[in-house]
Amino acid sequence: MPKRRTTQADVAAVAGVSQATVSFVLNDRRPAGVHISADTRQRVLDAIRITGYSANPVAQRLAGGRNQILGVFTYEATFPGGGRDFYGPFLVGVEHAAEQLGIDILLFTSARVVDGRRRLTRDGWQRLGIADGCLLLGQHEDRSELQHLLDTNYPFVFIGKRVSEGGRLPYVGADYVSATRRAVERLLEAGHRRVGYAGDMGSDQPTTDRWAGYRDALRAAGLGARLVPEDDPDAVAAAIVEQGLTAVVLAPERDPEELHDALRRRGLEVPRDVSVVLLGQPHHRLRRPQEWSGFVIPREQMGARALLLLSRLVAGDEVADPDLHRLLECTDVEGATVAPPVTALAP
Amino acid sequence: MPKRRTTQADVAAVAGVSQATVSFVLNDRRPAGVHISADTRQRVLDAIRITGYSANPVAQRLAGGRNQILGVFTYEATFPGGGRDFYGPFLVGVEHAAEQLGIDILLFTSARVVDGRRRLTRDGWQRLGIADGCLLLGQHEDRSELQHLLDTNYPFVFIGKRVSEGGRLPYVGADYVSATRRAVERLLEAGHRRVGYAGDMGSDQPTTDRWAGYRDALRAAGLGARLVPEDDPDAVAAAIVEQGLTAVVLAPERDPEELHDALRRRGLEVPRDVSVVLLGQPHHRLRRPQEWSGFVIPREQMGARALLLLSRLVAGDEVADPDLHRLLECTDVEGATVAPPVTALAP
DNA sequence: ACGCGATAATAATGCGCATTATGGTCTTGT
DNA sequence: ACAAGACCATAATGCGCATTATTATCGCGT
């Protein structure tokens, strides 16, 4: 027989007051001239301790209050395909921040999966209402879903840059553009002049930003962009040889160690013959992660910052634009895969 | 202006019926002789379509019944110390199962941390009530907390073997005993006779089980146990030499690569001079994880099985003992750190 | 013609909490 | 001495839904 939860009414009975009084003491709030004496207040607090009361978050929500629960909605289904390796670090940051803030995290794992992707359908969206607010993670498609989110005034924050809906989407992202620019500049300073970009050319934000940083850095040096769109490592290696590239920047969807092996099969060594810079953590598990030059996305920090922002939005704080659309700096990694080109031109 | 949600009352108004009628149609249920005519039913369904109604889960829950939320409580604070690497895989399994079952996962990150360990205090416990049931993860201390859990009839399942409270604690664990026994037998079959156990001698269940498996396997072969309790890798290496060991089984709290390095500093190679077998995944991040012989704990599977069991308990199914205290087999890993001893005795 | 059961739907209630509207009592100022 | 606050606390209401209790209508047998 499941013992019924302790309610405010129970506490009130013990303290010899009304349920409303308990609620006022708990929320430490006195709207419209409600007064609670120190004595009564203490009696209620004692009763709470005695009964071991804690609020029913569901009822809190229904009555229009907050319940110290923030949700996390991941668009991409976490399985299969090692997606976890990608989202895990964000969650670590989220969890860390949640611990500091004393709130619980609700993972919306129940959303229907359509085409390997979770959907925020109309009824899926309704479930979000359990939490005070929600973090959104991953690539999404449906603009109308976002519009709906905005319309309902439900607090949410994207993890990852989102420029759309008239800039009304709050997010915490990573500054891919300048990180990529710095990566390319590093190659240019080493003397490279034929620098390729190896990766898919999607229209997603990270890809767009990486490409923009790459192109800008080259353009500033009076050089042209060279895309290496091939997927197969050996094809990439072949393209590098064919285009006479001395260096490539590598998008995370490409496995650097496979490229390394493919180059070696053609007698090319990294970084002796080809310098390689990683644009963020590769999606693959590496045998020797520390050796690669490039930058890392501060995922944990992003998760933590996003949760902090969300909690401010939930609290109803006015948040100005620099905080609503925050880009965090990526951390450059020295590594050992950048060297001057063999055929370096004289400066 | 937060657009108010469509409610059953709205639907009822459109259909020209009462709110209760809408609820009955939605749940397709007629308790205690309630009848809805096909005509009315259709009008309600049309009204639902027109208004785009969907239920408010918060209200549904308040009104009674289950909420399709299961909680996860982790005793050890996830930070710091890379604990995430240990608990992550369990959560992966949990999340996977949750997705299948169509339920959401609530992480109790709000629990107060005392001495680097989360506590299931009385009010912490009350918060569990949000969810239909809860998974417990990690080492715990307070027996009285467990007793309280049992008393309240709240559905819960431990991840990890728990023998206490008269065997009334449901759990899904890993069979450390036989996995360790097999590991030792493998060394014995390779010809080893002086096999040490390197690790802490705690009273926690995993340690107890590993030691039991180790001791039993040796005893069956008429050999004695040799504990190497040292913490420092160099001290471990020294002890191995001193005791004349030709092989060690290594508990997860020891870093195998550090031991490897320490042995090499003394001119000993693995596995040429010393064979090493890992008793589960080490807590440290390894440079070359795949090379080590030993076994792995099926963490994801444990998480998934635990959630499945919990959902059955929540549903009120009668669950018999083999399922209530399930031990999953560990997977043996071939690896390359076992070889015959140099000083092998003739068979 | 009368009552009884089946049918059809609504009214009413409560889940636990936040909040507004009220009702008292005790001090002040004039 | 008497009204105007200030102070203290409670009653009452509603959030959206599930569920129980209740009302109303009709067909049918005797």
Q: What is the CATH number of the domain that holds A163?
A: 3.40.50.2300
The answer on A229 and A185 residing in a single domain is yes
Give domain status of residue B338, yes or no: no
The verdict on a CB contact (< 8 Å) between A2 and B107 is no
Give domain status of residue B36, yes or no: yes
Asked whether the CA dihedral B310, B113, B92, B297 is positive or negative, the reply is: negative
Query: Which residues of chain B have a pLDDT value below 70?
Result: 1-3, 32, 65, 77-86, 112-117, 119-126, 141, 165, 343-347
- Whether residue A189 is predicted with pLDDT greater than 70 in this model: the reply is yes
Which residues lie below 8 Å from residue A77, measured CB to CB, with a gap of 6+?
Answer: A83, A113, A116, A117, A118, B99
3-state secondary structure B209-229: HHHHHHHHHHHHCCCCCCEEC
Ranking A61-65, A105-109, A142-146, A188-192 by mean pLDDT, the lowest is: A142-146
Give domain status of residue A27, yes or no: yes
The answer on A184 and A49 residing in a single domain is no
The answer on A170 and A85 residing in a single domain is yes
pLDDT interval class at A3 (50, 70, 90):
low
Q: What is the CATH number of the domain that holds A22?
A: 1.10.260
- Whether residue A140 is predicted with pLDDT greater than 80 in this model: the reply is no
The answer on A168 and A183 residing in a single domain is no
Cβ of residue A8 lies below 7 Å from strand D: no
The residue among A51, A58, A134 with the most chain B CBs within 10 A of its CB, best to mutate, is A58
- Whether residue A191 is predicted with pLDDT greater than 90 in this model: the reply is yes
The residue among A110, A114, A257 with the most chain B CBs within 10 A of its CB, best to mutate, is A110
Q: How far apart are alpha carbons B162 and B149 in whole angstroms?
A: 14
The answer on B115 and B35 residing in a single domain is no
Give domain status of residue A334, yes or no: no
Give domain status of residue B13, yes or no: yes
The answer on A180 and A121 residing in a single domain is no
Give domain status of residue A85, yes or no: yes
The answer on B241 and B129 residing in a single domain is no
Specify the higher pLDDT residue, A134 or A286. Answer: A134
Q: How far apart are alpha carbons B94 and B175 in whole angstroms?
A: 19
- Whether residue A299 is predicted with pLDDT greater than 60 in this model: the reply is yes
A100-104, A303-307, B108-112: which is most confident:
A303-307
What is the span of the domain harbouring residue B117?
A: 69-174+300-329
Ranking A295-299, A307-311, A318-322 by mean pLDDT, the lowest is: A318-322
Q: What is the CATH number of the domain that holds B39?
A: 1.10.260.40
The answer on A315 and A166 residing in a single domain is yes
Cβ of residue B315 lies below 7 Å from strand D: no
Please give, rounded to a whole number of angstroms, the shortest distance from the CA of A236 to a CA of chain B.
Answer: 27
Residues above pLDDT 70, as percent of chain A: 90
Mean pLDDT of the region A9-15: 92
Give domain status of residue B344, yes or no: no
The verdict on a CB contact (< 8 Å) between B107 and A107 is yes
Please give, rounded to a whole number of angstroms, the shortest distance from the CA of A159 to a CA of chain B.
Answer: 19
The answer on A142 and A170 residing in a single domain is yes
CB contact A122 to B (< 8 Å):
yes
Number of structural domains chain A divides into: 3
pLDDT interval class at A65 (50, 70, 90):
confident
Predicted pLDDT at B151 = 76
Give domain status of residue A335, yes or no: no
CB contact A65 to B (< 8 Å):
no
Predicted pLDDT at B347 = 46
The verdict on a CB contact (< 8 Å) between A62 and B57 is no
Angle of helix B233-243 relative to helix B256-265, nearest 10 degrees, comes to 60
- Written as one letter, the residue type at A21 is T
Which of B88, B95, B122 shows the shortest C-beta gap to A52? Answer: B122
Which of B68, B130, B152 shows the shortest C-beta gap to A57? Answer: B130
Residues above pLDDT 90, as percent of chain A: 60
Predicted pLDDT at A319 = 87
The answer on A113 and A154 residing in a single domain is yes
